[in-house]
Amino acid sequence: MSSVAAIAPPGRGLLRILGLAFGVAVVVGNTVGVGIMRTSGPTAGRLGQPVLIYLVWLGVGIFVLMVANTLAELATAMPKAGGPYIYVRRAFGDYLGFVCGWGGVAIHVLADGFLAIASSEFLAEIWPVLAGRESLVATALIVLFAALNSLGLRTSSTAQQLLSLLKVLMLAALVIAAFTYSHSPAHAAHAVAGAAPGVGFVAVVVSMQTVLEVYDGFNGACFFSEETTDPDRTVPRALLYGALLVIGIYLAVNAALLHVLSPAEMGASKLAAADALARVWGPPARIATAVLALVASLSVLNVCILLPPRILYSMSRDRLFVSSGTFVTRHGVPLASMWLSAGAATVVASVGGFDTLYTATAFLSACEFLLCSGALFVLRRREPTLRRPYRAFGYPWVPGIALITSAALLVVFVLGNTGPSLLAIGVVAVTYPLFRFVQRRRSPPPALDA
């Protein structure tokens, strides 16, 4: 870590070659994945009432859209790699920037871990010989995708666009297949009768925290601002169009599942989509659903391999991480940062459980949204002349609602789902001694330039 003190030598920069197709593919690819496949059932089971199920998915989606509106202004005003780390550091200084940077790395490293775990489970369902070897398979998947993305930025872009397109087409097929089920749902009367009892606070909080993490990833495009050919126009469109598309996909998938299964049946299912399609098309549909879930989770895994290196690259450039983190290959890959984060993800995959990692990551995401929303207000007041190609819609009210909602979510997450939230707080707390260690070994910080 002593190399933090040294200014990174001049070298290759990131390549500016990405367009809108990649931006939307990253938003959809980084968001729609294993979450909707694994959590729609338990969420429906906790909430019990179709109306409440739709309200939670739509309400969290609207919140996500408001945060995307905030990020669109910040990303175009400061079009650099690293996303929220860049905005928070400029607004609040090195320490909170450091916290946000490492929080972002932790979010995606944890995500890599639970996505690899989930993908290995889906692979074992498709290919039973892998059953009992899920941990080894998860590690192999992380290494495989890190190697693929080491080939170059163009390879990463092509792979992500293909995976995202395939995933959307398969989800559309799932929705259409579910709505071909013409029998009157036997559970309809019971759903109305069961709507009378109230749903507990903890059930709603856990559902919101779970759904928020299912939406997490919508901000993926802003991490690549420095590599986008026209960030002023492309990044806002990728963030907002992508978020709207994701909301539509999630509501459509829930509607399709509720068309076939009752909330109670969904809650009792580990993979509700598989049970729904098996009812419509018979047992072979379970394998088809496992293939869909695998493609969806691998699409997100690919993006999550790409994001931490962008954060570490910018932190290294600001002398808040080792200087080798700035190394970029001639094909536009921050190689050392990629393999460092991939190595950490393999550790997570070997020791972590899916549910705890998933909700802990949601808490870290809410922290990041709170800091970014605050950064917008601070920079509007402190730097009114900062170039802003995109100005957040509805300022100050819409960004203000996003700010207040982020703070409220953190409180209710701690009260309603304490264990994973405390784990996330522990991850944040570890950053302070690490920051002090780095500070003692670095030269004076660079200017927070535009």
Domain holding 193: CATH number?
1.20.1740.10
What's the rounded mean pLDDT across residues 414-437?
A: 83
Please report whether residue 449 resides in a domain.
no
Q: Are 229 and 19 in contact (CB under 8 A)?
A: yes
302 falls within a domain: yes
Q: For 131-146, write each residue's pLDDT tens digit.
A: 888 889 999 999 999 9
**Against a cut of 0.95, is the pTM above it?**
no
* Percent of the chain whose pLDDT exceeds 90: 60
358 has a pLDDT exceeding 70: no
> Is 433 buried (19+), middle (13-18) or exposed (0-12) by CB count in 10 A?
exposed
> 147 in a domain, yes or no?
yes
Look at 81-95, 230-244, 416-430 and tell me which has the smallest mean pLDDT.
416-430
330-347: pLDDT as tens digits? 999 999 999 999 999 999
Averaged pLDDT of the chain: 87
- What is the model's pLDDT at position 280? 84
Cα–Cα distance for residue pair 294/185, rounded to 1 Å: 29
Task: Say which range, 66-70, 240-244, 407-411, 419-423, has the weakest mean pLDDT.
Answer: 419-423
- The tokens describing 145, both together, are 């995708």
Neighbours of 359 (CB within 10 A): 22
- Assigned domain for 248 exists: yes
Query: Does pLDDT of 33 surpass 50?
Result: yes
Where in the sequence is the domain holding 239, given as residue range(s)?
Answer: 16-440
Specify if 136 maps to a domain: yes
Residue 3 covered by a domain: no
**CA distances for 221 relative to 27, 101, 172, angstroms:** 6, 16, 23
Cis previous bond, 396, omega within 30: yes
Q: Residue 398, SS3?
A: helix
279 confidence band (pLDDT: 50, 70, 90): confident
Tally of domains within the chain: 1
Mean pLDDT across 67-85: 97
* Total Cβ atoms within 10 A of residue 94: 18
| Lowest model confidence (mean pLDDT) among 31-35, 186-190, 232-236 | 186-190
Place of tokens 């996500």: 64
Cis amide prior to 9 (ω within 30 degrees):
no
- In angstroms, the CA 88 to CA 98 distance is 9
Instruction: Check residue 333 and give its pLDDT.
Output: 96
Name the pLDDT band for 443 (thresholds 50, 70, 90): low
Residue 312, domain member (yes or no): yes
pLDDT at 449 over 70: no
φ, ψ dihedrals at 18, nearest 5°: -90, 145
Helix (H/G/I), strand (E/B), else coil: 322: coil
Residue 112 belongs to some domain of the structure = yes
What residue has token string 């609602």? 401
Q: What is the pLDDT of residue 234?
A: 97
For residues 222-227, average pLDDT: 97
What pLDDT, on the 0 to 100 scale, is given for residue 7?
Answer: 37
Q: Which pLDDT band holds residue 45 (cuts at 50, 70, 90)?
A: very high
**SS3 of residue 387 by DSSP:** coil
